């Protein structure tokens, strides 16, 4: 019997709240020799980990339920929260189930955390994973393929056998399927946001950070089918695109507050790892070459990536707002997040040019006071409705 | 030799401004920097183009091959900071929509543009014709030049310098940077300047660089003497100025470092301590290694907190931010492009945390320092994120006491003199106690 929306969401919620990563431990225990590799936002080619028979695990911080004690001792007050809570997870043994950890190129804080991890967790595989800021195949591509090859060799050694091209192609196929499913979910939400509230969509996506990808793809499609089967009331909400939350995640209560304040979120940049490559990676040919081409030429714009030309700045946000019939943009950025906060004025300038309304606030993953955010989002939604009525 | 100099008044005040003592080399570098501002201000009138680039990973020798006037935005911001102009600029940028959480160098730069595009010396600061985005050791650089490009529509060339995540420079990293220099940077420099690239000209500049670099290292390492003839943090700011900015590769810089080295060697022979703004340091009581950039808005006041206590900084990581030369690297005229790549990859903030800890421990040992002081800068995550672990590790490995103070680069709101002074005094007390305890044991 198929599951109801409520059952699916409850399962995802439980996975989301489980800071002991029980599902990862269970996956590892199910067969001898299984290994899991953690990764932080924003993007790593998970295909390489999967091709070694390992489980890629997204570590998106500790959220609002984790009391950070040890992690705070490593950071000054003006540094964002995600490295503190991630360290807390590590230092309290919650990440012992991980055999390695990848730190993608996103900002100086996460970059430096890679070195801290090397010092504090000497028995684990740790790698800072750089992606190119030069998008020519012969320059940035060559560099990137080599970096992926190093990762492939390292992971192969951890797995005890090299990763074959065929295994990589098979993993690319599996992740292409997952990208399609996630894309379908985003399209579905944009078309019927009342049927797929972001507070639900978010936990369904978060499940993909800990579940095997094949299971997650199935889960996403089950959620779409289940929610589509039961009609929900349509509200006169403002359709907004949320941006800036690509690394440290907002608390779920913040997403709920925005929705309760009268906004439908029709696009966002949560957990970009699932959507970074915007279409299928070619399943034939040299797999690393194809992963590289996808990243260089068909990947999302986000603040940690260089925009080669001025005219490109804000293009994704603008296109998304138009494509998803967005009526406004909410800039929700973590406090002290350099990438999001430095990017924000440039994106706002683009929105100003196109007369798209926006509002902005900051959060931390453990923000508890939602009243100001609800008020701000509510006022924003009301103003959109007033303008569109005029 | 040193010369008394009337300090620029911080703000309108009836108090007489104390006379600052400066070494001749300090005055000379000030002259050079002021002259560079004049060259930038008049570049367009003289038919020259202006290139802007960042201090870490700057390709000064290469940029000179195309006759650009050279502007370095961090230096502009810090100069404005030292002249007490940055506070207003930062607030102007914040009023213009920039977050209070982000780098104050960026905001001081953007604020200066909002305030009429006047440089630190009062001359106009023209729009750059090219933004050479050497993305080395600092994520913010990328956003900084994107922000400037957004405003002024300048041509921008990216040079992505990969981070030494594994604590080493791989061949792949080297090849990547070399390729970018050859296939992207040089063609852009040629196109914007209209000057054809001449590799022999580059080699010539690099010969000058290598000479000057050798002399700079001798100057910085003179602090291994007791007493140290220099301050390797506050004083080093003046010594690294020409090398880290628009002068590396010029005959003028070579001469500057030759003279500076002679001056310092003379001080060593005479057994003299460093020149501080208050005069020559009488007695060297504490020898410190400092990690992190200085505060610029209260630079003299900050330095005085050390010199008043007889504390001299014998080595600092900040003096390696525009190039790490004391472990042997020199620009190599025989392999010019490869050597530029190596230079960029090796800058201090491009090193991973374990490398930074190794370097600090080595300094503490080789310079016989009493301990480590970290000046943690609110603006600069590249330096600051992880510094508390650096502190713990260095204490663990060296057994020497470490201390932590906080300030900012150019935002005067984050300089709290009483707090810093208290912490420093406690720290010096701690060193004294450690010494006494060690003496009792022996």
User: Is residue B328, in this structure, part of any structural domain at all?
Assistant: yes
pLDDT for A201 equals 98
Cβ within 8 Å, pair B162-A143 = yes
In the structure encoding, which two tokens stand for residue B51, read together? Answer: 């290139």
Contact between B150 and A349 using a beta-carbon 8 Å cutoff: yes
What is the arithmetic mean of pLDDT over A209-224?
98
Mean pLDDT calculated for residue range B214-227: 98
The CA angle B98-B100-B101, to the nearest 5 degrees, is 105
Residue bearing tokens 């390729």 = B179
Q: In a mutagenesis test of the A interface, which of B143, B155, B178 is the best target, namely the one with the most A β-carbons within 10 Å?
A: B143
Q: Which helix (H) or strand (E) holds B98?
A: none
Mean pLDDT across chain B: 93
Q: Cβ separation of B163 and A143 shorter than 8 Å?
A: no
CB contact under 8 A, A112 and B102: no
Whether the per-residue pLDDT at B45 is higher than 70: the answer is yes
Confidence (pLDDT) at B23: 74
Contact flag A142-B147 (C-beta cutoff 8 Å): no
As a whole number, mean pLDDT of residues A64-89 equals 97
Contact between A103 and B158 using a beta-carbon 8 Å cutoff: no
The pLDDT of residue B305 is above 70:
yes
pLDDT band at B18 (very low <50, low <70, confident <90, very high): low
> Does the structure show a pLDDT above 70 at B13?
no
Residues of chain A with CATH 3.40.50.11900: 231-389
Q: Which pLDDT value is given to residue B282?
A: 87
Q: Which of A230, A240, A269, A268 is nearest to A329 (CA)?
A: A240
Of B378, B382, B393, Cβ closest to residue A78: B378
Enumerate the residues of chain A whose CB falls inside 8 A of the CB of residue B341.
none
Which residues are paired to A242 by β-bridges? A330
Asked whether the beta carbons of B291 and B372 are under 8 A apart, the reply is yes
If you search the block for the tokens 């104390």, which residue do you land on?
B18
For residue B439, the model assigns a pLDDT of 78
Unique residue bearing structure tokens 């932590």: B404
Mark yes or no for CB contact B172/A348 under 8 Å. no
B384: chain A residues, CB-CB within 8 Å = 76, 78-79
pLDDT of B5 over the 80 cut: no
Per-residue model confidence (pLDDT) at position A1: 61
Taking CB atoms and an 8 Å limit, are B385 and A115 in contact across chains?
Answer: no
**Is the distance from CB of A203 to CB of A249 less than 8 angstroms?**
no
Q: Cβ separation of B147 and A146 shorter than 8 Å?
A: no
Angle at B319 between CA B261 and CA B312, to 5 degrees: 75
pLDDT > 90? residue B14: no
A140 vs B176: CB contact, 8 Å cut-off?
A: yes
State the nearest Cα–Cα gap between B320 and chain A, in angstroms. 18
B121 part of a folded domain: yes
Shortest CA distance from A147: residue in chain B: B172
Report if residue B9 sits inside a domain: no
- A104: nearest CA partner in chain B: B165
Q: Which of A116, A134, A339 has the CB atom closest to B160's CB atom?
A: A134
Q: Do B165 and A134 touch (CB under 8 A)?
A: no
A220 Cβ neighbours under 8 A, 6+ residues apart: A178, A181, A182, A184, A185, A204, A205, A208
pLDDT at B7: 38
Question: What per-residue confidence (pLDDT) applies to B26?
Answer: 79
Residue A220, CA distances (Å) to A3, A209, A260, A278 in order = 12, 13, 24, 17
Strands, E, within B57-188: which ranges? Answer: 69-71, 130-135, 155-160
Q: Report how far apart, in Å, the C-alpha atoms of A332 and of each of A58, A249, B43 are.
A: 21, 10, 42
Q: Rounded mean pLDDT of B209-229?
A: 98
Radius of gyration of the CA atoms of chain A, in A: 20
Confidence band (pLDDT; 50, 70, 90) for A149?
very high
Structure ipTM:
0.97
Name the region of B73 (left: φ>0; alpha: ψ -120 to 50; beta: rest). alpha
B385/A114 CB distance under 8 A: no
Q: Is the pLDDT of residue B382 over 50?
A: yes
Task: State how far the alpha carbon of B113 is from the alpha carbons of B106, B126, B152, B297, in Å.
Answer: 11, 10, 10, 19
Instruction: Please give the interface size between A and B, counted as residue pairs whose CB atoms are below 8 Å apart.
Output: 168
In this model, does residue B10 exceed pLDDT 90?
no
Which residues does A163 contact at the CB level (< 8 Å), separation at least 6?
A48, A51, A52, A152, A155, A156
Q: Can you give the pLDDT at residue A82?
A: 98
* Nearest C-alpha neighbor of B126 from the set B56, B241, B33, B47: B47
A83 CB neighbours in chain B (<8 A) are 385
CA torsion angle B330 B334 B338 B340 (round to 10): 50
The model's confidence at residue A45, banded by pLDDT at 50, 70 and 90, is very high
Look at residue B3 in the predicted model and tell me its pLDDT: 45
Q: Which residues of A109-126 are buried (b: 16+ CB within 10 A; e: fewer)?
A: bbbbbbbbbbbbbeebbb
pLDDT of residue B27: 83
What's the CA gap between B364 and B161, in Å, rounded? 29
pLDDT at B327 over 50: yes
pLDDT digits (tens, 9 = 90+) for A177-197: 999 999 999 999 999 999 999
**What whole-number percentage of chain A has pLDDT above 70?**
99
Q: Domain total for chain B?
A: 1
Domain that holds residue B246: 19-441
Q: What is the pLDDT of residues B357-370, one digit of tens each?
A: 999 999 999 999 99
Q: Does residue B240 form part of some domain?
A: yes
Helical packing angle, A198-207 and A252-260, nearest 10°: 160
Contact B165 A103 (CB under 8 A): yes
Query: In which element (H, E) is residue B421 found?
Result: helix B417-441
Query: Residue A109: closest CA among chain B residues belongs to which residue?
Result: B385
- Residues of chain B above pLDDT 70, percent: 95
pLDDT (0 to 100) of residue B9: 37
**pLDDT score at B15:** 54
pLDDT at B16 over 80: no
pLDDT at B30: 86
Instruction: Using an 8 Å CB-CB cutoff, list chain B residues near A345.
Output: 96-98, 147
Q: Residue A303: its chain B contacts at CB < 8 A?
A: 143
Query: pLDDT at residue B28 above 90?
Result: no
Asked whether residue B111 is domain-assigned, the answer is yes
CA dihedral of B376, B382, B385, B390, whole degrees rounded to 10: -70
Question: What residue ranges of chain A are covered by domains with CATH 3.40.50.11890?
Answer: 5-167
Chain B residues whose beta carbon lies within 8 Å of the beta carbon of residue A363? none
Q: In the CATH hierarchy, which top-level class contains the domain A5-167? A: alpha beta
Q: Which tokens is B239 given?
A: 């010594």
Disruptive mutation site among B165, B171, B177 for chain A (greatest number of A CBs within 10 Å): B165
Question: How far is residue A190's CA from residue A196's CA, in Å, rounded to a whole number?
Answer: 9
B2 located within any domain = no
Chain B nearest C-alpha distance from A30 (Å): 33
Binary contact (A339, B176; C-beta < 8 A): no
Q: What is the pLDDT of residue B165?
A: 98
Q: What pLDDT, on the 0 to 100 scale, is given for residue A277?
A: 98
Q: How many CB atoms lie within 10 A of CB B14?
A: 4
Strand intervals (E) in A327-367? 328-334, 358-363
Quick one: pLDDT at residue B21? Answer: 67
| CB environment B76-107: b (16+ within 10 A), e (fewer) | bbbbbbbebbbbbbbebbbeeebbbbbbbbbb
- From chain B, the residues in CB contact with A342 under 8 A are 99, 102-103, 106, 140, 143-144, 147
User: In sequence order, which residues have a C-beta less than 8 Å from that of residue B195 and are 6 or more positions away?
Assistant: B65, B66, B67, B189
CB contact under 8 A, A306 and B160: yes
Give residue for tokens 């790892």. A273
B331 with B209: CB under 8 angstroms?
yes
Q: CATH says A231-389 is which class? A: alpha beta
């Amino acid at each position: 019997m198929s599951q109801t929306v409520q059952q699916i969401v409850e399962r995802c919620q439980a996975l989301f709240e489980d800071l002991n990563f029980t599902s990862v431990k269970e996956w590892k225990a199910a067969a001898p020799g299984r290994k899991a590799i953690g990764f932080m936002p924003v993007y790593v080619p998970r295909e390489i980990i999967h091709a070694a028979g390992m489980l890629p695990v997204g570590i998106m911080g500790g959220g609002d339920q984790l009391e950070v004690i040890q992690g705070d001792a490593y950071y000054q007050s003006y540094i964002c929260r995600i490295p503190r809570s991630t360290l807390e997870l590590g230092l309290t043994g919650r990440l012992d189930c991980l055999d390695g950890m990848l730190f993608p190129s996103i900002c100086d804080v996460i970059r430096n955390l890679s070195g801290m991890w090397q010092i504090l967790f000497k028995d684990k595989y740790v790698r800072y994973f750089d992606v190119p800021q030069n998008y020519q195949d012969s320059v940035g591509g060559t560099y990137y393929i080599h970096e992926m090859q190093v990762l492939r060799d390292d992971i192969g050694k951890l797995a005890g056998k090299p990763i074959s091209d065929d295994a990589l192609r098979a993993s690319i196929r599996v992740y292409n399927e997952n990208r399609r499913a996630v894309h379908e979910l985003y399209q579905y939400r944009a078309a019927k946001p009342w049927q797929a509230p972001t507070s639900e969509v978010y936990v369904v996506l978060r499940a993909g950070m800990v579940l095997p990808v094949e299971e997650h793809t199935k889960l996403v499609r089950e959620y779409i089918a289940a929610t589509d089967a039961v009609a929900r009331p349509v509200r006169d909400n403002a359709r907004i695109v949320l941006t800036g939350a690509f690394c440290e995640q907002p608390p779920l209560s913040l997403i709920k507050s925005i929705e309760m304040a009268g906004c439908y979120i029709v696009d966002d940049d949560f957990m970009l790892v699932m959507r970074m490559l915007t279409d299928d990676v070619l399943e034939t040919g040299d797999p690393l070459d194809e992963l590289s081409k996808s990243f260089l030429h068909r990947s999302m714009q986000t603040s940690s990536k260089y925009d080669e030309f001025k005219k490109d700045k804000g293009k994704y946000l603008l296109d998304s707002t138009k494509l998803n019939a967005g009526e406004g943009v909410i800039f929700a950025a973590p406090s002290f997040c350099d990438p999001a906060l430095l990017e924000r004025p440039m994106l706002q300038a683009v929105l100003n040019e196109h007369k798209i309304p926006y509002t902005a606030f900051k959060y931390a993953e453990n923000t508890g006071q939602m009243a100001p955010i609800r008020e701000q989002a509510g006022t924003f939604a009301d103003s959109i409705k007033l303008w569109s009525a005029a | 030799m040193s010369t008394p100099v009337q300090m620029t008044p911080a703000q309108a005040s009836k108090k007489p401004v104390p006379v600052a003592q400066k070494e001749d080399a300090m005055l000379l570098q000030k002259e050079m920097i002021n002259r560079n501002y004049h060259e930038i201000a008049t570049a367009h009138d003289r038919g020259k183009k202006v290139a802007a680039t960042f201090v870490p990973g700057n390709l000064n020798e290469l940029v000179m091959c195309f006759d650009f006037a050279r502007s370095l935005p961090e230096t502009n911001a810090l100069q404005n900071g030292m002249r007490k102009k940055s506070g207003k600029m930062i607030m102007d940028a914040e009023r213009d929509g920039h977050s209070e959480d982000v780098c104050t160098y960026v905001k001081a730069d953007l604020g200066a543009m909002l305030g009429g595009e006047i440089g630190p010396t009062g001359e106009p600061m023209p729009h750059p014709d090219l933004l050479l985005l050497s993305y080395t050791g600092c994520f913010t650089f990328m956003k900084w030049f994107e922000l400037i490009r957004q405003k002024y529509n300048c041509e921008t060339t990216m040079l992505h310098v990969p981070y030494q995540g594994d604590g080493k420079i791989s061949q792949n990293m080297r090849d990547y940077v070399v390729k970018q220099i050859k296939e992207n940077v040089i063609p852009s420099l040629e196109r914007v300047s209209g000057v054809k690239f001449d590799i022999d000209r580059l080699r010539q500049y690099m010969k000058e660089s290598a000479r000057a670099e050798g002399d700079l290292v001798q100057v910085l390492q003179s602090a291994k003497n007791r007493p140290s003839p220099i301050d390797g943090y506050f004083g080093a700011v003046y010594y690294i100025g020409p090398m880290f900015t628009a002068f590396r590769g010029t005959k003028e810089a070579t001469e500057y470092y030759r003279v500076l080295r002679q001056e310092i060697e003379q001080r060593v022979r005479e057994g003299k301590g460093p020149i501080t703004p208050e005069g020559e340091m009488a007695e060297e009581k504490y020898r410190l290694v400092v990690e992190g950039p200085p505060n610029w808005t209260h630079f003299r006041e900050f330095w005085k907190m050390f010199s008043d206590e007889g504390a001299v900084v014998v080595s600092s990581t900040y003096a390696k931010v525009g190039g790490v030369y004391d472990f042997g690297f020199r620009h190599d005229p025989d392999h010019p492009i490869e050597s530029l790549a190596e230079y960029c990859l090796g800058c201090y903030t491009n090193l991973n945390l374990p490398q930074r800890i190794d370097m600090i421990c080595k300094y503490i040992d080789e310079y016989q320092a009493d301990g480590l002081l970290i000046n943690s800068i609110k603006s600069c995550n590249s330096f600051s994120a992880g510094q508390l672990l650096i502190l713990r590790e260095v204490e663990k490995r060296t057994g020497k006491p470490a201390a932590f103070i906080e300030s900012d680069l150019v935002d005067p709101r984050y300089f709290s003199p009483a707090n810093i002074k208290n912490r420093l005094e406690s720290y010096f007390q701690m060193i004294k106690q450690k010494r006494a305890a060690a003496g009792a044991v022996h």
